[in-house]
Amino acid sequence: MSPEDAVRAVAARAREASHELATATRATKDAALHAMADALLAAGPDVLAANAEDVARAEADGTPANIVDRLRLDDARLAAMAQGLRDVAGLPDPVGEVVRGSTLAKGLELRQVRVPFGVVAMIYEARPNVTADAAGICLKAGNAVLLRGSSSARSSNAALVAAMRGALAATGLPEDVVQLVPGETRESVTALMRARGLVDVLIPRGGAGLIASVVEGSTVPVIETGVGNCHVYVDASADLDQALAIVLNAKTQRTSVCNAAESLLVHRDVAREFVPRVVTALQDAGVLVHGDEEFASRDGVVPATDEDHAAEFLALEISAAVVDDVEAAIAHVRRFSSGHTEAIVARDQATIRRFVAAVDAAAVVVNASTRFTDGGEFGFGAEIGISTQKLHARGPMGLPEMTSTKYVVVGDGHVR
Amino acid sequence: MSPEDAVRAVAARAREASHELATATRATKDAALHAMADALLAAGPDVLAANAEDVARAEADGTPANIVDRLRLDDARLAAMAQGLRDVAGLPDPVGEVVRGSTLAKGLELRQVRVPFGVVAMIYEARPNVTADAAGICLKAGNAVLLRGSSSARSSNAALVAAMRGALAATGLPEDVVQLVPGETRESVTALMRARGLVDVLIPRGGAGLIASVVEGSTVPVIETGVGNCHVYVDASADLDQALAIVLNAKTQRTSVCNAAESLLVHRDVAREFVPRVVTALQDAGVLVHGDEEFASRDGVVPATDEDHAAEFLALEISAAVVDDVEAAIAHVRRFSSGHTEAIVARDQATIRRFVAAVDAAAVVVNASTRFTDGGEFGFGAEIGISTQKLHARGPMGLPEMTSTKYVVVGDGHVR
């Protein structure tokens, strides 16, 4: 069987299994989630042994230590994965929710009801916890899931999926609602991108290159996630102590995440006071500043190129520029934003209203860190990624975002 | 300038104009819509003269009379287009609607607010009324629109757009929120499909071939519309008089529309009584029945192939089959459905619940005609098409479906 046929066969089994899952009750799905959590813990030794193989292979290949760390599982991380599944069981079932309803002019009853997509495919890198998270969220939303992890996590993912499938069989749901995609190759990604009609939605999570290639090439509808060139704009009306704390938190609290700040804009009227303070504070925190001429006059600041202003560093680096006013800040954001999260620090109400209205992004944050754009912080209980596209879902995606809707129209012999 | 560059230049102007439109008030947008309606009426003689050119060219080319009829404008159709714009002005503004909101654990205020997509491109065929309808709906939802009509309506569309742009200039909104795409060629469609970053959403309306090629090839997110292989399933528990009226209405009330019935399924237990009645009634209405063996034994019924069961005839033809039970009906629908509208006629509550839960389509209709899946019938006031995809919008799309959302997060110096 060709790699493409192998992927299509798995997708066809997912489609078949999705029919039964789509009409399963919440009680059945929650029982399955708890059984999957139990199974992960019971399979702990097998999973950790498989993970040790992946870690050893990564280390032998000279993989950077921070990537190896993301790959590594231990008892605590396994327990967190199991708890994540139990947390999803505790969330309301999105399926069946009546989004709107009315009685139409001729007496027909109309309801718009949440329904599962059907089959969701996830393409992701390194971290094995995504395997359990995605399986749990998709299952609760009534979707069969196809998991295409990275080759570096092959053994870990196989062990995790085997444990979860065993639990499904025992609870009466079809095992094939959770499946690994065969082959962690480029071909398996291409096959998923071509599986229109078998796969309803494709969600790439990972580096910008992976996401761009899926978005450009897929015939299956895609939800684009996670590239964040997030800006913090410090207005002339800002409380500068607050601004300093927000910039530092947004840049340094965690650097490898899509909601970290990558670009700093400072209003010209406060540049003389604020630029030296923020440069010193950032440098003290180990941050390399790529600045425009106003910033680059400071020791240790390197000149910023357009590439720097557009960059998602995911590291202790930031681009920085002085702007004449809020309109110039908005224009800079429009030019370089990836549409993830854009923040303003300001006290002037009119300036805040203008920035919030004019900036087009998944999240616009006022007087707070960009790091708050997160399903957990938003209280969603579970997050499958952060959408940076405008269609269907934008921002952190929880259970409702993993559903579609259908209209149910009930009459009594009505004709037009 | 190459055809692709010409399209990109128009799209770039739309993007620029969209910024101003996105923050325009409802009052400004409604005034523009009324001005556009006035301008269409004032330009009536020019529009009708331009339309006469299109009609003459179509007739000289030997275009079928029903297509020429769709192309033809007269005073009444022009008045209806103007009234359509006024009707859209009367609808609530979707932009700014707070979809949900809460105060987060740390005191941040969170709101999810409807915002325009930005730039919407429509690709459509023949009917010039779509030009005004799409412009009006997109404008009200805050989107700049790129209109790519068919070459057969070139002169009509040019006259309509010139009138509407003139009105925009007078109301202070940028003219470029409504633009024709240069060239009614294959190249202009391809250029729109490649305009990722300039065009936010692409909506093809027209034949199945056009829609399929856009859906398969576009790097811009697409909303798929309108192919309908709609089924009517007549259960053993149906009121057969009601069933007969529903089948006839769904098939014959208007044949060229996507919500017309194209397939009939009859439960075996009522086939002996119902098949002769429905075949006679359909044939009396001029319908050619493509039937399975149970149907094909009747005079004038031709044997149905799988292609017939899958076909969207858009004509006085229907495929028909007898099924053993509701599960067989569901299986048949799953195999051949285009996911538009599927109807059941039944009195048994358990059967209805099962059909509604198991059938995956934009609309599932109980004891009524498939013809009710329509933005007007649903009370939306305006409709830009009927989505048959699961992402973002499913079923008739009104103003809210022409928007995205963004999160606004307001704090007071919050950091993580």
Interface with chain A: mutation pick from B232, B247, B359, B409, highest number of A CBs within 10 Å: B409
- Residue A219 CA, distance from chain mean position: 21
> In this predicted model, what pLDDT tens digit does every residue of B11-20 receive, in sequence order?
999 999 999 9
Q: Which residue has the tokens 């798929």?
A: B224
pLDDT at B212: 86
pLDDT at B381: 87
A220 and A303, same domain (yes or no):
no
- Residues in chain A closer than 8 A to B219 (CB atoms): 215-216
Q: Is residue B20 in a domain?
A: yes
- Residues in chain B closer than 8 A to A112 (CB atoms): 395
B55 and B203, same domain (yes or no):
yes
| Chain-chain contact of A389 with B115 (C-beta, under 8 angstroms) | no
Nearest alpha-carbon partner for A366 in B412, B135, B37: B412
| Chain-chain contact of A412 with B115 (C-beta, under 8 angstroms) | no
Residue type, B298: R
A190 and A54, same domain (yes or no):
yes
Could you say which DSSP state residue A119 is in? E
> In this predicted model, what pLDDT tens digit does every residue of B213-222 receive, in sequence order?
898 889 999 9
Is 80 exceeded by the pLDDT of residue A226?
A: no
B219 and B234, same domain (yes or no):
no
Q: What mean pLDDT do residues A212-224 have? A: 90
pLDDT band at residue A58 using 50, 70 and 90 as cut-offs: very high
Q: Which domain CATH number covers A352?
A: 3.40.309.10
Pairing verdict, β A178-180 and A261-267: unpaired
Q: Coil, helix or strand for B409? A: strand
CA dihedral A53, A54, A60, A63 (to 10 degrees): -160
Distance CA A358, CA B289 (A): 57
- Residues in chain A closer than 8 A to B101 (CB atoms): none
B324 and B198, same domain (yes or no):
no
Min Cα separation B248/chain A (Å)? 9
Q: Coil, helix or strand for B314? A: coil
Is 90 exceeded by the pLDDT of residue A71?
A: yes
A215 and A237, same domain (yes or no):
no
Q: Which residue has the tokens 């090629």?
A: B213
pLDDT band at residue A60 using 50, 70 and 90 as cut-offs: very high
Q: What is the mean pLDDT of chain B?
A: 95
CA atoms in the 13 A half-sphere facing the CB of B141? 27
Q: Which domain CATH number covers A81?
A: 3.40.605.10
A45 and A187, same domain (yes or no):
yes
Pairing verdict, β B144-148 and B119-123: parallel
What are the residues facing A386 on neighbouring strands?
A396
B191 and B254, same domain (yes or no):
no
Nearest CA in chain B to A397: B407
**Residue B208, CA distances (Å) to A197, B226, B295, B388 in order:** 15, 8, 28, 12
Phi, psi of A2 (to 5 degrees): -70, 160
| Chain-chain contact of B404 with A414 (C-beta, under 8 angstroms) | no
> In this predicted model, what pLDDT tens digit does every residue of B363-416 receive, in sequence order?
999 999 999 999 999 999 888 999 999 999 999 999 999 999 999 999 999 999
pLDDT at B287: 98
What are the residues facing B282 on neighbouring strands?
none
Q: Residue B153: give the domain boundaries.
A: 3-225+397-410
Could you say which DSSP state residue A238 is in? S
> In this predicted model, what pLDDT tens digit does every residue of A379-415 receive, in sequence order?
998 889 999 999 999 999 999 999 999 999 999 999 9
Nearest CA in chain A to B220: A216
Indicate the number of domains in chain B.
2
Q: Is residue B323 in a domain?
A: yes
Q: CB-based contacts of B26: which residues, under 8 Å, 6+ apart? A: B93, B95
Domain end among A180, A200, A225: A225
Least CB–CB distance from A118: residue in B200, B360, B377: B360
C-beta separation of A111 from A404 below 8 A: no
Could you say which DSSP state residue A176 is in? G
- Residues in chain A closer than 8 A to B368 (CB atoms): 108, 409-415
Q: What mean pLDDT do residues B109-135 have? A: 95
> In this predicted model, what pLDDT tens digit does every residue of B53-88 receive, in sequence order?
999 999 999 999 888 988 999 999 999 999 999 999
| Chain-chain contact of A409 with B365 (C-beta, under 8 angstroms) | yes
A316 and A261, same domain (yes or no):
yes
Is 90 exceeded by the pLDDT of residue A125?
A: no
Exposure string of B190-224, with b = 16+ CB inside 10 Å and e = fewer, is bbbbbbeebbbbbbbbbeeebbebbbeebbbbbbb
pLDDT at B1: 84
- Residues in chain B closer than 8 A to A409 (CB atoms): 363-366, 368, 372-373
> In this predicted model, what pLDDT tens digit does every residue of A348-368 receive, in sequence order?
999 999 999 999 999 999 999
Min Cα separation B84/chain A (Å)? 20
Least CB–CB distance from A249: residue in B222, B362, B416: B416
> In this predicted model, what pLDDT tens digit does every residue of B226-280 receive, in sequence order?
789 999 999 999 999 999 999 999 999 999 889 999 999 999 999 999 999 999 9
Is 90 exceeded by the pLDDT of residue A305?
A: yes
Min Cα separation B40/chain A (Å)? 31
Min Cα separation B385/chain A (Å)? 15
pLDDT at A327: 98
| Chain-chain contact of A373 with B115 (C-beta, under 8 angstroms) | no
Residue type, A45: P
Q: Is residue B151 in a domain?
A: yes
> In this predicted model, what pLDDT tens digit does every residue of A18-48 receive, in sequence order?
999 999 999 999 999 999 999 999 999 999 9
Contacts by residues A79-84 (CB-CB < 8 Å, ≥ 24 positions apart): A79/A41, A80/A129, A81/A40, A81/A129, A81/A132, A81/A133, A81/A160, A82/A37, A82/A38, A82/A40, A82/A41, A82/A132, A83/A37, A84/A129, A84/A132, A84/A133, A84/A136, A84/A382
> In this predicted model, what pLDDT tens digit does every residue of B324-368 receive, in sequence order?
999 999 999 999 999 999 999 999 999 999 999 999 999 999 999
Token pair of B385, please? 């098409």
- Residues in chain A closer than 8 A to B245 (CB atoms): 413, 415
Min Cα separation B115/chain A (Å)? 8
Angle among Cα A195, A198, A202 to the nearest 5 degrees reads 60
pLDDT at B253: 96
B253 and B189, same domain (yes or no):
no
Q: What is the mean pLDDT of chain A?
A: 95
Min Cα separation B4/chain A (Å)? 18
CB atoms within 10 A of CB B70: 17
Least CB–CB distance from A372: residue in B365, B372, B414: B414
Q: Is residue B234 in a domain?
A: yes
Is 90 exceeded by the pLDDT of residue A161?
A: yes
| Chain-chain contact of B415 with A368 (C-beta, under 8 angstroms) | yes
- Residue B145 CA, distance from chain mean position: 16
> In this predicted model, what pLDDT tens digit does every residue of A275-302 receive, in sequence order?
999 999 999 999 999 999 999 999 999 9
Distance CA B345, CA B208 (A): 28
SS3 content of chain B, % helix, strand, coil (to 5): 45, 20, 30
pLDDT band at residue A216 using 50, 70 and 90 as cut-offs: confident
pLDDT at B210: 85
Angle among Cα A250, A255, A259 to the nearest 5 degrees reads 55
| Chain-chain contact of B415 with A104 (C-beta, under 8 angstroms) | no
> In this predicted model, what pLDDT tens digit does every residue of B288-305 receive, in sequence order?
999 999 999 999 999 999
Could you report the predicted ipTM of this complex, rounded to two decimals? Answer: 0.94
- Residue B98 CA, distance from chain mean position: 26
Q: Is residue A401 in a domain?
A: no
What are the residues facing B178 on neighbouring strands?
B145
| Environment class of A364 (CB within 10 Å of its CB; exposed 0-12, middle 13-18, buried 19+) | buried
Q: Is residue B392 in a domain?
A: no
Count of A–B CB contacts within 8 Å? Answer: 210
Least CB–CB distance from B372: residue in A108, A362, A405: A108
pLDDT band at residue B127 using 50, 70 and 90 as cut-offs: confident
CA atoms in the 13 A half-sphere facing the CB of B216? 9
- Residues in chain B closer than 8 A to A144 (CB atoms): none
Q: Is residue A192 in a domain?
A: yes
H helices of B344-388, in order, are 349-358
Min Cα separation B46/chain A (Å)? 36
C-beta separation of A231 from A369 below 8 A: no
B200 and B324, same domain (yes or no):
no
Token pair of B257, please? 């529309």
| Chain-chain contact of B390 with A363 (C-beta, under 8 angstroms) | no
Nearest alpha-carbon partner for A231 in A264, A275, A186: A264
**Residue B15, CA distances (Å) to B21, B144, B200, B338 in order:** 10, 7, 9, 34
Nearest CA in chain A to B104: A378
A207 and A235, same domain (yes or no):
no
> In this predicted model, what pLDDT tens digit does every residue of B19-38 receive, in sequence order?
999 999 999 999 999 999 99
Answer positive or negative: Cα dihedral of B140, B144, B148, B152.
positive
| Chain-chain contact of A369 with B405 (C-beta, under 8 angstroms) | no
Min Cα separation A159/chain B (Å)? 32
Q: Is residue B415 in a domain?
A: no
